[in-house]
Chain A
C-alpha cells in the first residue's frame, strides 16, 4: 500500500513492478465482479435455451443441449396463446407516451433553457417534485375516474399516465441539452421570421438531436418497465408485457425454460435501448444532476 516514491526521481526497480502487479490484480477483481453481477442474467439466457427437463435440474446441467423450444412455446407454438397482444400493447403505450412526452417537454425545455422565464429554477424544481410523489398515492382516484369514464383496460389511459411519469425527467434532461444550443443561431432564425414551431422543429431539434434521442430512449424504458399502473388499470385487452409476465406464471404452472425465454424476450428492448443510452441513463435517473 505505501509505495512512497521519492518525488523527483521515480525509482525504476521494485515499486512500479509491485504497482503493476497490484493493478493487474485489481483488473482481475473487476472482471470477476462484472461476471458475478452478470451471472444471473447469463443464467436466465442459458436456462431459456434448455429443454424443460434440463432447465429444472439440481445440480444444474450446464452442458445440456441447447434448443429454442422455450421461445417456441412462449410464442404459442403449442398452446396457441401468443404474447403478441401484450407485447404490442407495451410497445404502443411506450411509443405513444414517448412521443407525447417529447412534444410537451421540448417547448418547456426551450422556455426554461433559452428563453429563461422568470423563476425558472422554481419551475424546474416543481417538475422534479412531482417525480418524488409516490405514484401509489394518486392511483385510487385515477382508477375511480377511469372506471366512471369507461377508460379502464385502455392503453390510452396508460399513455397519459406514463407521460406524466416521464415528463419531469424529460424536461430536466432536455433543459440541459438545449442549453448547449447557441442562442445566436436561434436568434438568426427568428430574425428571418421563423415562429416558435419552426424554430423548434427546424433549428433546435436537429441541433439537440442526440440528447433528444437519449431522452426518448429513457422514457421508452421506463414506460416499458412499468407494472403497478398497468396491473391496476388494465385487464384483458390492454394488458402490457410486464402484467402478462406476472400472470403467465400462475396460469400455466411453472415451466422454467419458457419463463426464462419470456423474461429474455420482454427485457430485450430495454437491454438494447439501455446499452445504447448507457451514460444518459444515469443522467436521466439522477434527473440531470450528474452529467
Chain B
C-alpha cells in the first residue's frame, strides 16, 4: 500500500490532539462515525454467528430429535478428535491444502519468471494464463469432472487413445481418474485454478525488484542462477510468504471442488465439506459446530502468520516511501 501508510505505521499516525477535553470526545466520535456502519455490520453478520456456533458446539443437538437437546460440555470436541471419519477429513484438509499450495507456488514461480521477461505477445500469454482463475469455480469443477476426467469420453483418456492410435496401439490405457486417484484429481483441478493467482502475486514481486541491483549483479559476472538464488529469491520471500498464507486461507475453505468432483466420496471429504454434511444432511448441529470451531482455531493459527506477513509488507512499504 502506498501513501496511506507513509508515516510510521505502528504508532498512532497523529499526535494526540491538544488538550481540549470537552470537545475531543465528541470530535473523536465525529471522526469515527463514517467507520461505524461497516464495523457494526461486520460484527453483527460475522462475529455473532460465530459466537452462536461456539454455544451450539457445547450441546448435544440433533435437529431430527429436537427434544433431546442437552448441554454436553466438551463431548462434541472429544468426538471430533476421536471419530475416524472426522480425523480423516482433518488429514484430507491438511493434505489437500499443503499439496495445492506447494504445487501452485512452484508452478506459479516458474510461470512468473517466464513472464517477467519481454517476449512477443506477453500480454496475450498473461491473459491466457489468467483464464483458469476466471472460470466460475463450480464450472471449473464440472469441467474437470465431466469433460476431462470422464473415463469414457473425457479429454484426458481421449488424448491417450488418440496418441495410442498414432503409434498403432488400439487398446491404450484408459484410467478412471477420479476413482483411481480421487484426491489427486481434486488437487489437479485446484492447482489449475489457483496457479494463476500465485503467478500474479509473484510477478508483482518480480516487477518490484530494483532493476539496478540486478544489472549490477550481472555486470559483476553473476550467473543467472546466482542472481536468482542470491537476489531474486530473497527479494521474493515476502511475496512467497504472502502467496502461501493467502493460498492456504482460501484453500482450507474450499468447498466447491470437493463437493462437485467427488461429493466428498472416495476419502476426499475435507473439513468444510464434512461440516456441511454433518449439519445439512446428518442434522448433527452440535457436532458440526464443534468441528467448525476446530477449523477456526486451525485457521487462526495460519492467519496469525498471514497477518504478520501482511503487516511486515506494510511496514516495508512505509520505510521505502
Contacts and interface: CB of A to CB of B under 8 A. Distances in A.
Interface residues of B, number: 120
A163 interface: yes
A249 B260 CA distance: 10
A125 interface: yes
B242 interface: yes
B281 to A, nearest CB: 11
Interface string B214-226: 0000011101110
B165 interface: yes
Interface in A244-284: 245-246, 249, 254, 256, 259-260, 262-264, 266-267, 270-271, 274-275, 278, 281-282
A184 to B, nearest CB: 14
Contacts of A33: 110-111, 114, 125, 129
A161 B115 CA distance: 37
B173 interface: no
Interface string B296-310: 100110110011011
Interface in A116-146: 116-121, 123, 125-145
B177 interface: no
Interface stretch (A35-43, A68-76, A77-85, A186-194): A35-43
A68 to B, nearest CB: 18
B142 interface: yes
Contacts of B78: none
A14 B173 CA distance: 47
Interface of B: 1-4, 9-10, 12-14, 28, 31-35, 37-39, 41-42, 45-50, 52-53, 56, 110-111, 114-115, 117, 119-122, 124-139, 142-144, 146-148, 152-155, 157-159, 161-162, 165, 192, 195-197, 200-201, 204-205, 219-221, 223-225, 239, 242-243, 246, 249-250, 252-253, 255-256, 259-260, 271-272, 275-276, 279-280, 285, 288-289, 292-293, 295-296, 299-300, 302-303, 306-307, 309-311, 313-314
28 contacts: A7-B220, A26-B117, A30-B115, A33-B125, A34-B129, A40-B143, A40-B147, A41-B132, A44-B135, A56-B153, A60-B155, A60-B159, A129-B307, A130-B42, A132-B299, A137-B50, A137-B53, A137-B292, A138-B50, A140-B52, A163-B45, A167-B41, A167-B42, A249-B146, A256-B146, A274-B130, A289-B314, A290-B239
